[in-house]
Structure 1
Amino acid sequence: MRSSSLRLRTSLFAAVVPLALTLAATGCGSSSAPTAATSASSNDPGVAAAQKVVDSRLGSQTFKADLPAIDQIAKAKDKKVLYTAISLKIPYFQNVLKTMQSAAGLAGVQVDGCDGNVTPANIAGCVTQAISQHYDAIVLDNIPVDLIGQGADALKGAGVQIISAEGESLPAADGVTYAGTGGPEMLQAAANWTIADSGGKANVLIVQQNDTPLQVKYVSQYMQPTFAKNCPNCKVQVISVTAAQLGNLGTQVSAALLKDPKIDYVVSEFDANVQYIVTGLQSSPRGKSVKLVGAIGDLAALQRVRSGQFQRADVLVSPSYAGWAITDQTLRVLVGAKTWDRLDTPFRTFDTSNIGDVTVAQDGIDGGAIVGGDTWSHVFRASWGLS
């Protein structure tokens, strides 16, 4: 196979790197803030709807799903899957891989890891490995299929099934099966928290990353419509940033606050970018009065929420859930069973009303204790007939 067939689209790759690199970041600080659970007092129906969403995600989450049975799970035995993450140096992806290896092992499936190492050459190498070593499927985690360019056609031609993991929940199409883990819904939850907390009167600055059409879609088709529906009196502005411009994001944020001193909420599309936003808030005279909200959370985000400094809310899912969900979808692909388009991901919203009820630690995130415990593995096992 010619090397040109695996050429990566580096402009899209640049969009993924900052998100992956900061999943393992940490942070700290101190102060306190009111919560959505106590701030929303408006009788506005939109605010009430937003508050209902908030309330449903503040407590411990229980995963429920009516999954079609995989009747011929034995067909998966001895199959091989190559889990390719944007970077296996990051604890989140390490734990997704570890979970997949354990879960898939119950069905006799071998899952190996390949480190994308946040470089086009390494990701191309993983694609080549999947083909040359005759893997039955490749899981691309946080690596958009568009990113591998003609490598997707090469995989299909070699009979390697493609699972696109942890992006948008979509029906299978063009030889790609999707395994979404709630990203868009978490962004909607962040918007609803802002609406409820402000009583329907927020002046919001959304920080959107726009290296890929999907990143723009997350804001334009999920976050902004949520504000429009539940908060017609909210003012919503969007600033855009590319991966190459992240170093200047703090300046963008402080400039936006100077231009519109009434901005009182900043909502980040990705927690990965929050460290740059905080820099902008720190340099603004009004920064301490602005409430920061994030999604697709990590340990650093929860630590900021706990301290009350700048970040007031965060929305998070456990890598344990992600590993089981991706494994389930992968097994379905391997044996030709019915796949799912979307599951109700057990993500949880954290603010000052509930952050004190949990232990903020990496192992609590990794194993799922922080969202209410592992309520998903037995559901997936049951659908495999292995309960």
Structure 2
Amino acid sequence: MTRVTGPPPPHPLVPSRAAAVHRGREAVHGTAVARSAALALLLAATALAGCERGSSHPPEVSATGPSGCPAAQAEAQAAVTRAERTDVPWNGPAGGPPAVPGRTIVYVAQTMTNPGVAGVAQGVREAARVIGWKVRVIDGEGTPAGIQAALSQAVTLRPSGIVIGGFDPASTSQQVARAAAAGIPLIGWHAVASPGPSTSPRLFTNVTTDVGDVAAISAQWVIARSHGDAGVVLFTDASIPFAKHKSELIDKGLAACPGVRLLAYENIPIPDASSRTPRDVSVLLARFGSRWTYSVAINDLYFADAAPAFRAAGKAGTGPPFNIGAGDGDPSAFQRVNGGQYQAATVPEPLTLQGWQILDEFNRAFSGRPASGYVAPVHIATADNSEGATAWNPSGFRKGYREIWGR
């Protein structure tokens, strides 16, 4: 994002961001005591600068108190309490076709440095050993050319099915068309914005938690934990439509509370995160100082890369800023959360479960059945409820899929 020394430009996602910040605030006009013209102009200029969402100036105090959103806080707290439950049984499909023998799956990864992509690949491998199929993983290495080459190679291998692992199929339209012409079913993981089948691009199904639920609970965690008074930095990768859409929804959720101010929207491509995040975090710390109290990232890995900059600035690992990852909940994210190392919470994808679900969906495709329609619930993992775990999955999914497959 472009950095300036004065007040920043309007927020890039929502055109009238200054108007959004004025909600619940009343401007004070006129007094019984005469003011000089110069003083009146100074006060007006200061008030406008403080009201702009993302401003580098301190925000005004809400007329209803520091939070100004008691209803939003109550709703957020109730949602967070539900999402922090750990006793969540698997509620996936009750039945399905038995395992089709002798199939080969190719998993094309956006980049295996993305812990979520790698975690699902591991789940696919685990499930393949149970169902009796072969799996090959091809790494796109995070570049458009690399992903296109990886998918081209996958189509050339003529497997039974191909997984679109964490990238936009529109960026590989020629390869997707070749797969369709060859009759190879495609299943996405975080490939399009919504779970379930897709006609454009053509996917048998897309496996993911509901992005709207993940974005909403991430924003609600900030609202509830901060009691409606926070300065937030949002990290995203706008080159991935799924991630960009998620960050837009997170921003919308944060805007439900006037006391929660979006200080900055940082667009850092995931393949560049290790090199760019430390530098950008240092700049943000210098710019916003103690006004930066919370962060939300579309992927946990940003906080791994941010840790050196926080540490160099003398920030405590337990915050502020208090950081939540809106995906993907890989083991390193849990380790940071459990160890109080610059991440307070994660909204984890059940990565292993989703790997198993992908193979179950392929088995349905090979059997001429429709997609299962299963969508995993959202969950918030913290040091208080994870009990040292390094992953989260609803209990009982392995047994459930084994019973379906007859394995």
TM-score computed with the length of structure 2 as normaliser:
0.70
SS in 2 for 1:160: coil
Q: Which moved more, 1:319-328 or 1:176-185?
A: 176-185
| 58 and 359 in structure 1: CA distance in 2 versus 1, 3 angstrom threshold | same
Count of aligned pairs between the two proteins: 327
Alpha-carbon distance between aligned partners in 2 of 1:83 and 1:242, rounded to the nearest angstrom: 22
Query: 1:232 and 1:330 mapped to 2: Cα distance?
Result: 45
State the Cα deviation string for residues 190-241 of structure 1 (Å, max 9, x = none).
Answer: 2222111111222211112222333211111x21222233x24311232222
Higher relative contact order (CA 8 A, sep 6+): 1
| Residue 297 (structure 1) aligned with residue 329 (structure 2) | yes
The SS at the match of 2:188 is strand
CA distance in 2, matches of 1:87, 1:336: 31
1:137 and 2:156 matched = no
Choose 1 or 2 for highest CA Rg: 2
> How far 1:379 sits from its partner (Å)?
3.4
Displacement, 1:67? 3.1
- CA displacement 1:319-343 (0-9 Å, x = unmatched): 3211121112222222221214551
Residues 1:194 and 2:246 are matched in the alignment: no
Quick one: structure 1 residues 61 and 316, their matched pair in 2 at CA, closer, same or farther if it must change by over 3 Å? farther
In the other structure, the counterpart of 1:218 is 246
* CA separation of 1:299 and 1:77: change in aligned 2, threshold 3 A: closer
The equivalent of 1:241 in structure 2 is: 268
**Code of the aligned partner of 1:277:** A
* 1:174-189 to 2 correspondences below 5 Å: 174=200, 175-182=202-209, 184=211, 185-189=213-217
The answer for unaligned runs of 5 or more in structure 2 is 1-66
* Structure 1: 5+ residue stretches without partners: 1-40
Change (3 A) 1:276 1:128: closer
Fraction of identical pairs, as percent: 18
Tell me the secondary structure at the aligned position of residue 217 of structure 1. Answer: helix
Pairing 1:54–2:80 present:
yes
Which structure shows the bigger proportion of residues in helix conformation? Answer: 1
- CA distance 1:58–1:176, change in 2 (3 Å): same
What does residue 208 of structure 1 align with?
A: 236
Match of 2:344 in 1: 312
CA distance in 2, matches of 1:233, 1:337: 49
Distance 1:350 1:250, change over 3 A: same
In 1, Cα distance between the equivalents of 2:350 and 2:270? 25
TM-score (ref. length: structure 1):
0.73
Indicate the SS of the match to 2:266.
strand
- Over the aligned positions, Cα root-mean-square deviation in angstroms equals 3.2
Q: 2:182 aligns with which of 158, 171, 174?
A: 158
**How far off its partner does 1:123 sit?**
4.9
The 3 A distance-change label for structure 1 pair 124 and 266 is closer
Distance 2:203 2:267 in 1: 29
1:228-280 deviation line (CA, Å, top 9, x unaligned) = 33x24311232222357532333323333333342211112211121232233
**Secondary structure of the corresponding residue to residue 236 of structure 1:** strand
Could you say which residue in structure 2 is the equivalent of 1:97?
124
2:108 corresponds to: 84
